[in-house]
Amino acid sequence: IVDALRLSRGMTVKATAAGLNLGGGKGVIIGDPKTDKSEGLFRAYGRFIESLKGRFITGEDVGIDVNDVEYMFMGTRYVCGLSKAHGGGGDPAPVTAFGVLQGMRACADERLGQSSLKGVTVAIQGLGSVGFPLARLLKEEGAEIVATDLNEERRQHAADALGIKVVTPSEIYDVPADIFAPCALGAVVNDETLDRMKFKIIAGAANNQLAENRHGVELFERNILYAPDYVINAGGMINV
């Protein structure tokens, strides 16, 4: 519940920073996406969203894909990120990845004195719907990539498909990289991880990367340039 409230606050700030006409909120279904998903679950969620009469519009995020949204659509008109067949813009995750890439370029220009990411080492945490396409884009840019994911199959797939170096989840904070890109869950910049970070830049797609606001101050004092997550990852929200 705390995470859901943090996410709703993050969406509100993101919508404001992006100049969107809607506010921000977040719906969270507590469960394991590998085992708990069903058509009935998402249709029921859609009916609940419909009962709010447009005060809240739902869509994809961690653990939720276009197929899940299609089931929600059966119960509510207040859903975005639909497939193009239903008049939507499709999966917003690749657009989020593209936006993060632009943010990384801006950060590199500010901190490294170069807008090109060629030869820049990027440590990516999370190889899901945003992290994997981001890794592909960075590969095309000529960046050196070290990545991880809690799912071993995803790590192996990224290593095989993109030819990038992968490490275990616990090792990613110690990677000697220029840029750290959190693309999984939030609160990864915290009291336990800060001392391990030797990065020059933190720029990634995850929501609520700072465990507490004071950790942003600590990054500033350590001369680590932090791209506010609610700005750099807003591409998908703008898209839908």
Pairing of strands 179-182, 225-226: unpaired
Enumerate the H helices of the chain as residue ranges: 2-17, 39-51, 66-73, 93-111, 131-141, 152-162, 214-221, 229-232, 235-239
Quote the Cα angle for 74-31-173, to 5°: 120
Q: Are 57 and 78 in contact (CB under 8 A)?
A: yes
Rg (CA), the chain: 18
Q: Which residues of 108-117 are buried (b: 16+ CB within 10 A; e: fewer)?
A: beebbeeeeb
Residue with tokens 């609940």: 48
Residues annotated as catalytic are 26
Determine the Cα–Cα distance for residues 109 and 216; give it in Å rounded to an integer: 20
Hey, what are 189's tokens?
């910049």
User: How many residues can be counted in the chain?
Assistant: 240
